[in-house]
Amino acid sequence: MEEAHPTSTAEVAEVLGDATSRGLTVVARGRGTKQGWGMPPTSADLVVDLSGLARVLDHQAGDLIVDTQAGALLSDVQDVVGTERQRLVLEETVPGTTVGGALATNTSGPQRMFFGTARDLLIGVTVVRADGVVAKAGGRVVKNVAGYDLGKLVIGSYGTLAVITEAVFRLHPLPDVERWVVTPVDGPGRAHELAQAVVHSQAVPWAVEVDLPASGPGTLGVLLGGKAEGVADRAETVRRLLGDAAEVTDTTPPGWAAYPAGPVLLKLTFALSGLRDVLTAAREAGVHVRGSAGAGVVHAAADDAGALDALRAVCARHGGSVVVVDAPDDVKQAVDVWGPVPALDLMRRVKDQFDPEHRLAPGRFVGGI
Amino acid sequence: MPGMPGVDAVTQRARELIPPEGVITDVARLRTYECDGLSHYRVVPALVVIPEDAAQLAGVVGACAEHGVPFVARGSGTGLSGGALPHAEGVLVVTSKMRTITAVRPDDQRAVVEPGVINLDVTRAATPHGYYYAPDPSSQQICSIGGNVAENSGGAHCLKYGFTTNHVLGAEFVSPQGDVVQLGGIAPDTPGYDLLGAVVGSEGTLGIVTSATVRLVRLPEEVRTILVGFASTDQAGAAVSAIIAAGIVPAAIEMMDALAIEAAEAAVHCNYPDGAGAVLVIELDGAAVEVAAEYDEVERLCNDNGAFEQRLATDPADRALIWKGRKSAFAAVGRISPDYIVQDGVIPRTALPEVLKAIAELSGTSGVRVANVFHAGDGNLHPLVLFDESKDGEAEAAEEVSGAILDLCIEHGGSITGEHGVGMDKARYMPRMYDEADLDTMQLVRCAFDPDGISNPGKVFPTPRLCGEVPGRHKGAHPLQEAGLAEVF
Amino acid sequence: MTDLGETGAIVDFGAPVEGGAFDEHRPPDAALVGDCVHCGFCLPTCPTYILWGEEMDSPRGRIYLMKEGLEGAPMTDAMVSHWDACLGCMACVTACPSGVQYDTLIEQTRAQVERHHDRSAGDRALRGLIFALFPHPKRLRLLRGPLRLLQRTGLDRAMRRTGLLDRMAPQLAAMERLAPRLGRPEPLPELIPATGERRATIGLLTGCVQSAFFPGVNSATARVLRAEGCDVVVPPAQGCCGALSVHNGREAEAQGFARRLVDSFEDRGVEWIVVNAAGCGSTMKEYAELLADEPAYADRARAFADRVRDVSEILDELGPVAPRHPLEMTIAYHDACHLAHAQGVRAEPRRLLEAIPGLELREIAEGEICCGSAGIYNVLNPEPARELGDRKAANIVATGAQLLVTANPGCLMQVASAIDRSGHPMGMAHTVEVLDASITGRPAATLMP
């Protein structure tokens, strides 16, 4: 296996152009924090290491945007924009991740409930195609409907369509204060009721997180941010909704914005009204669940993939899915990592157009793409 | 129609599928569909079909695919870029009879609607449950969700809440082959490529959405709408910057200049401040205490920047009137000028003063009047370039000014369209914003979805890509290429 | 680039193109057609677009058909069917941000249609009968009486043949059930002097349908005006105002009615001519345009039109002097299209009603949408009218109000039958009848069926 260490989009283009002429299969890598996610590529002749594209290129505070190379650490981006009291609301759910890595795997944290995910924040993208052609889409303004939104296609594509080299994001102001309202919950039923109460309140919650271990009580945590007076009032509203055991705190609760730890990491999605059923199924399967009760996306940590079918059934009943995000190779080989994928035929056609020779991370993505 | 055997075959199929009133071949009727909201582009379609459900629609599209007949989708026909301009030898597929709100699911914060459902009707259906549909194009009282999805429509409240693409989570979609495909769903993050993300805003060039699952947003506890009068757009612009810099994200900040105010006043008597050189419509929403705090700060920042009048809407009717002035502004310009071009460009917000000055200079040197209406919060300009078609040379001069404004937007790192779409009107500007490789790459998506190029051909891209032409595998010239109608990148 | 066919700006056309749908006598005004910027804001207010979702049956589409006609397209059955389907409710005029005068355009078009379009024998017979009946209060009154009176006139056979009676019978029956029973009304004297100090002298239009089917409304109008300090003059020679004729393209007939009405109110010393039927009022306010080409009448018609007021306008303007007695009831106020859209009168009736102690006013959802009455539309186009009526009835019933109040006899008849079908009968009254009850101190129950 070869490695390349380009430091610019042009160099990435050169590397991929060269790989094209040599017919090499290629896997892109940032800091390698999620290299094991998805199916293992069936072939990887060349690893393109993007850690040399680590610069935050331009922060326009007045326009609330930042332009960064894909290999930049997410934390570096936050440091740069933080100097102007701004932030990129893309939470670092996997420590040490790069911008490109977060985009390629579409990771998201608690605040997706209010601020959305990468697809809602990315406004411009530069990619290098498998054939070495550099292409960009979007731009440096938040509002822009000129041309196809290629950014959305590459988000969550696990490096199978093109290599992301540069990204422009919209930013948000840093809140003056943040408050968490946290309450213990004894099980799925209570977690569901309280989550629904907060989700449908007018307190403008930024996150509603459930954390339910395999057994025993868990917690429901609600994040509120903004101006001091407003947050205090909203936090009080939420505290009343959550009941006597709820506490208001200004310290981040333990495990906040981190995926639960375990050999097998599953991502479960479902319509909000399915929370109770999903949590109940998780409990029956003995897996630890943590994630956004407000968005209908939680992660589960398990020792093995034994609960996969049962969880898939319940999530599917609520319009969602279960993906095996990370697991030991032998587990991945034994199960259907991605689960049923609608519109797979169209996806294959997209792949065929972007990477007709199937040289980018072959086999890593859905349906063997 | 004589000489169009493909269309004849599609017509026959359509008659089998759709009730008679939904298959239109009479030329007088066809002509009423020859343009959308951008009426200076006109093409009489060979056939208009108005299906009543997805199966009928898919059947017609399937017949189009079978016979190689182009098709164009149309909702309410309010688009401002000619995106629904028919094809002379093609079928216009109108979704205005598909207007069922299939489900309102407040517990899941979702609604499922057919494409012909009017934008505002989604909010009307959700309001009793304490919810609404956030994207609010100025034409929300008539524009359809299908059209919104095609154009990735924006609106005043997109500053805080995002655009159509942020609010459509699933779709039933008819591919240009006539296949019905499910994209996304009621739950987020469907595994696989985000094809829905590509379809939303693709202006009908990838297929037709026959059902959309949209996000419903909780109605805010408090809404405050403030109308602020300034002597100049410079002052108003400075106030906008100050508000954003203070870390406040209002639901909306809209600006109108003196000429636009005059038009709106004439049309809807919206009672904007007398003698204002610019007004801002600022809306704050959210939890009551927070809105109150933000309101105090916004009021102070406006005063600091020279506001001479601030009026807080006192009741829903007052609020509606303030918004009516803004939302009627485009059509209202018809009251002060016989003809006009609605431009739609985007600039980084901080470039606002500079670009406004340049527009004023353009207007001064050319003698073409320009009224300015814009979403100031996100730098989306809607200059209205006024002219009189009946006077020699005015149309050309207006067209020139309009184009120069787009150049200004591109120069400042902005976009040629923020919400109206590229459509027919701006395809020729695409190469100014994107290079050949960018456009070629976008068209890879087109080739994946619509290799035969029958779904709304001629829109968005100035030159169609010939699909299947993989580098190094050329099989000789494509007929289109030979005819000089297309080129291979 | 593939060939997309003809593109270009809308051409500026002056006189209608030879061979096109229209002749040179008042074709749809090209400049007014040109005012339409094709924004589509009218579509959601148009009853037929709401029903069918077709461009040709929207104001924007109908204007486009006029444009086609001006540009040389012949007048076809298809074209005419879409203009015929227009209710003339003018909700689009209210909605239009560009100020397109669709009302003028459709009237101009309809007059051309009547001249140039060959209608089917059945359609002609039905229309002929309607215009032999409606503008004539005495003939209309026969419809209220026992059938044998009708048979004696010979009208009955014609009515059966055209199906007119079948179409009207359910409405007449519903109206009889739901309209307020005020006892047998006496014919109004020629002069009704003001109670107390005289504040204005008013001429009252008694109307055709109003006087035949709702004579109580005229009596109530006279009583309220008298109580509010008005001398009320009722010229006995007055006839039809011509509204139905105008709205159906029967221009010459309409002009005849208009001349007669102008004559009958002239030299009677009235400051205002007050109307209690929305459709009549809106037409009379436009007499200047209707008689513009007649030198002997043009100026007189303008002076007449300037003095026309809806009864709610005049009462609102004068302000109350007669004390109001409480009416403990909930009412839903239905905007008649020809009052709200054509005359812009919305606030005045609401203010008058809300000023009555104890009375609660409720708004009707989709208030701007026509009930489907639209003059004689419900007779000519029973199916869409019925659908619209049912839609309106559902919205009215949903208010939970005890009484429906509106200011047009056509609306009352149409909504009465729709409400009746809905199975949720409720009382119905004209605005002035409610005011009359309050001023005279009659209990709310007298307004109920």
- Report CB contact under 8 Å: B191, A127: no
Reading the block at residue B33, the tokens are 């569909």
Fold of A177-249: Alpha-Beta Plaits (3.30.70)
Q: Choose the closest CB to A229 out of B286, B289, B449.
A: B289
Whether the CB of C18 is below 8 Å from some CB of chain B: the reply is: no
Inspect the interface and report whether the beta carbons of B187 and A315 lie closer than 8 Å.
yes
Between the two ends of chain A, the Cα-to-Cα distance in Å is 21
**Burial class (CB within 10 angstroms; exposed 0-12, middle 13-18, buried 19+) of A8:** middle
Tokens representing B76 are 């309410």
Chain A residue with CA closest to B435: the answer is A135
Alpha carbon distance A147, B462 (integer Å): 11
- How does residue C143 score in pLDDT terms, banded at 50, 70 and 90? low
Nearest CA of chain A to the CA of B190: how many Å? 7
Model confidence over C110-138: pLDDT tens digits?
999 999 999 888 888 888 878 887 788 77
pLDDT at A140: 95
Nearest to A366 among B107, B186, B192 (CB): B192
Residues 29-68 of A with CB under 8 A from B: 60, 62-65
Over the stretch A25-68, which tens digit does the pLDDT of each residue have? Answer: 999 999 999 999 999 999 999 999 999 999 999 999 999 999 99
Given a contact cutoff of 8 angstroms between Cβ atoms, the answer to whether B413 and A140 are in contact is yes
B438 and A338 in contact by Cβ < 8 A?
A: no
First to last CA, chain B: 35
Structure tokens at C388: 């619209």
Q: Pick from A155, A229, A366: which is nearest to B293 by CB?
A: A229
Which residues in chain C have their CB less than 8 angstroms from residue B29's CB?
56, 78, 82
What letter does residue B415 receive in the DSSP assignment?
B
* Nearest Cβ partner for B32 among C1, C6, C55: C55
C10 pLDDT more than 50: no
The whole-number pLDDT of residue C148 equals 43
Closest CA to C247 of C137, C392, C127: C127
Segment holding C413, helix H or strand E: helix C409-422
Q: Which chains touch A (3 or more CB pairs under 8 A)?
A: B
**pLDDT single digits (tens) A317-328:** 999 999 999 999
Domain boundaries, chain A: 2-173, 177-249, 264-334
Instruction: Judge whether C7 is closer than 8 Å to chain B, CB to CB.
Output: yes
Measured between beta carbons, the chain A residues lying within 8 angstroms of B442 are 135, 137, 147-148, 150
Least confident among A197-206, C411-420, C436-445? C411-420
Reported as a single tens digit per residue, the pLDDT across B112-148 is: 999 999 999 999 999 999 999 999 999 999 999 999 9
Confidence of residue B334 (pLDDT cuts 50, 70, 90): confident
Interatomic CA distance for residues C119 and C101, integer angstroms? 27
Instruction: Give all domains of chain C, ordered by start, each with its CATH number.
Output: 30-116 (1.10.1060.10), 121-173 (no CATH), 191-315 (3.40.50), 323-447 (3.40.50.11810)
Mean pLDDT, rounded, of chain A: 97
pLDDT confidence of residue A89: 98
Q: What is the pLDDT of residue C194?
A: 95
Q: Quote the tokens at residue C32.
A: 């007014």
Tell me, what's the pLDDT at C174? 58
CB neighbour list of residue A115: distance below 8 Å, 6 or more residues apart: A89, A121, A172, A206
**Is B1's pLDDT higher than 50?**
no
Instruction: Classify the complex by whether its ipTM is higher than 0.90, answering yes or no.
Output: yes
Instruction: Give tens-digit pLDDT for B8-27.
Output: 999 999 999 999 999 999 99
For residue A298, report the phi and psi dihedrals to the nearest 5 degrees.
Answer: -130, 160
SS3 at position C417: helix
pLDDT digits (tens, 9 = 90+) for C338-367: 999 999 999 999 999 999 999 999 999 999
| DSSP calls for B74-98 | ESSS--SSSTT---TTSEEEE-TT-
**Cα gap A268→A313, rounded to integer Å:** 11
Structural contact between residues B214 and B113, judged by C-beta atoms closer than 8 angstroms: yes
Question: Is residue C76 within 8 angstroms of chain B, CB to CB?
Answer: yes
The structure tokens 């080409």 sit at: C293
Closest alpha carbon within chain B to C75: B28
A368 to chain B: closest CA residue: B192
Same CATH fold assignment for domains A177-249 and A264-334: yes
* Domain A2-173, CATH among 3.30.465.10, 2.40.50.1020, 1.10.3720.10, 3.20.20.140: 3.30.465.10
- Rounded to whole angstroms, the Cα distance separating C232 from C272 reads 10
The answer to whether residue A137 neighbours chain B at the CB level (below 8 Å) is yes
Selection from C101, C86, C90 nearest residue C28 by Cα:
C101
Q: Helices marked H in A141-227 — which ranges?
A: 150-154, 188-199
Is A180's Cβ below 8 Å from some Cβ in B?
no
CB within 8 Å: C53 and B99 = yes
In this structure, the strands spanning A288-292 and A207-212 are antiparallel
With touching defined as 3+ CB pairs under 8 A, do chains A and C touch?
A: no
Contact between residue B412 and residue B349 where contact means Cβ atoms under 8 Å apart: no
Please give the average per-residue pLDDT across A298-314, as a whole number.
96
CA-to-CA distance for C206 and C214, rounded, in angstroms? 10
Per-residue pLDDT averaged across C404-409, rounded? 90
Are A319 and B106 inside 8 Å of each other by CB? no
- Give C188's DSSP letter: P
Buried b (16+ CB within 10 A) or exposed e, A145-183: bbbbbbbbbbbbbbbbbbbbbbbbbbbbbebeebbbbbb
All structural domains of chain B, each given as residue ranges with its CATH number in brackets, are: 5-94 (3.30.43.10), 101-218 (3.30.465.10), 222-411 (3.40.462.10), 436-482 (no CATH)
Interface contact C3, partner B, CB < 8 A:
yes
- pLDDT interval class at B488 (50, 70, 90): very low
User: 10 Å Cβ neighbour count for A133?
Assistant: 21
Q: Which amino acid is at C405?
A: V
**Predicted local distance difference test score (pLDDT) of residue C409:** 84
Averaged confidence pLDDT in chain B: 92
Q: Please report, in angstroms and rounded to a whole number, the separation of the first and last CA atoms in chain C.
A: 69
Single-letter residue type at B303: N
Confidence (pLDDT) at C147: 44
Q: Where are the beta strands (DSSP E) in A54-171?
A: 56-60, 65-69, 86-87, 122-129, 134-138, 162-170
Q: Name the CATH topology of A264-334.
A: Alpha-Beta Plaits (3.30.70)
Taking residues B326-344, what's their average pLDDT? 87
* pLDDT over 70 at B485, yes or no: no
Whether the predicted pLDDT of C268 surpasses 50: yes
pLDDT of residue C149: 53
pLDDT (tens digit, 9 = 90+) per residue, A95-154?
999 999 999 999 999 999 999 999 999 999 999 999 999 999 999 999 999 999 999 999
Q: What does the block give as tokens for A132?
A: 């070495």
Provide the number of CB pairs (under 8 Å) joining chain A to chain B: 278
pLDDT of residue B107: 96
CA nearest B75: which of B158, B157, B172, B140? B140
Q: Which of B423-437, C64-78, C160-174, C398-412 comes out lowest in average pLDDT?
A: C160-174
| pLDDT value of residue A58 | 97
B215/B145 Cα distance (integer angstroms): 12
Helices (H), B246-372: 258-268, 288-304, 316-327, 329-332, 352-366
Is the C-alpha dihedral spanning A353, A357, A363, A364 positive or negative?
Answer: negative
Q: Report the phi/psi class of residue B306: left, alpha or beta, with left for phi > 0 and alpha for psi in -120 to 50.
A: left
- Chain B nearest-CA residue for C62: B32
Tokens of B368: 């073409």
In the sheet with A288-292, reading across from the earlier edge strand, the strands are: A247-249, A177-185, A218-226, A207-212, A288-292, A297-302, A264-269, A322-326
Rounded to a whole number of angstroms, the distance from the CA of A339 to the nearest CA of chain B is 8
Using an 8 Å CB-CB cutoff, list chain A residues near B349.
Answer: 62-63
Q: Which helix (H) or strand (E) holds B283?
A: strand B278-286
Taking residues A314-338, what's their average pLDDT? 97
pTM over 0.80: yes
Chain B touched by A318 (CB under 8 Å) = yes
* A320-329, B150-159, C145-154, C396-405: segment of lowest average pLDDT: C145-154
| B445 chain-A contacts, CB cut-off 8 A | 148, 150, 153, 350, 353
| Contact residues on chain B for A85, CB-CB shorter than 8 A | 247
Chains B and C touch (3+ CB pairs under 8 A): yes
Give me B41's structure tokens: 């582009």
Rounded alpha-carbon distances, angstroms, from residue B134 to B109, B131, B157, B247: 12, 9, 7, 21
Mutate to test the interface with B, among C12, C35, C41 (most CBs of B within 10 A): C41
Q: A9-23, pLDDT tens digit by residue?
A: 999 999 999 999 999
Instruction: Give, in order, the Cα–Cα distances in Å from B283 to each of B295, B299, B323, C332.
Output: 9, 12, 10, 32
CA of A286 to nearest chain B CA: how many angstroms apart? 23
Q: What stretches of A303-356 adopt beta strand conformation (E)?
A: 322-326
Of A65, A92, A111, the closest CA to residue A226 belongs to A111
3-state secondary structure of B271: coil
Q: What percent of chain C has pLDDT over 70?
A: 86
